[in-house]
Amino acid sequence: MPSITETMRSAVPESTGKKDLRAEKASSPTPDNQGTEAGAVDTQVDQIALSDSVVKAIEGSKFDAAKVEALRLAIMEGNYPLDAKRIAENMVDLERMINS
């Protein structure tokens, strides 16, 4: 299983300042595609740019696939312990923080 860093790197091009040609709208009229056939579909590719702090956070994050799998199985089997009192206390703390 790929790490989140590898996944993000494969999904987001490196921010080297170079123009990403995939982000250009394919639907913009050019001499080549002005006479497209009726029913032809124009495509558009969107691009996102991550800030340096987000890139650093992603690179510094650790992903433990074994731990995630163990948690997933425990939840599916109904063996994941939930402490209702602790959850309620944390929700109250969150409300206090929001209302402050």
pLDDT one-digit tens code per residue, 5-22: 565 555 545 544 444 445
What is the tally of structural domains in the chain? Answer: 2
Q: What is the pTM assigned to this prediction?
A: 0.32
Based on the fold, state whether residues 68 and 51 are members of the same structural domain: no
Based on the fold, state whether residues 50 and 22 are members of the same structural domain: yes
Residues of the chain with pLDDT under 70: 1-39
Give me the pLDDT at residue 95, please: 96
Task: Match 């929001």 to its residue by tokens.
Answer: 98
Based on the fold, state whether residues 91 and 52 are members of the same structural domain: no
Instruction: Please give the residue range of the domain that contains residue 15.
Output: 1-63
Based on the fold, state whether residues 57 and 9 are members of the same structural domain: yes
Give me the pLDDT at residue 16, please: 46
Give me the pLDDT at residue 35, please: 52
Based on the fold, state whether residues 47 and 4 are members of the same structural domain: yes
Give me the pLDDT at residue 91, please: 96
Based on the fold, state whether residues 8 and 50 are members of the same structural domain: yes
Cα dist from 82 to 28, 43, 68, 93, whole Å: 54, 47, 17, 18
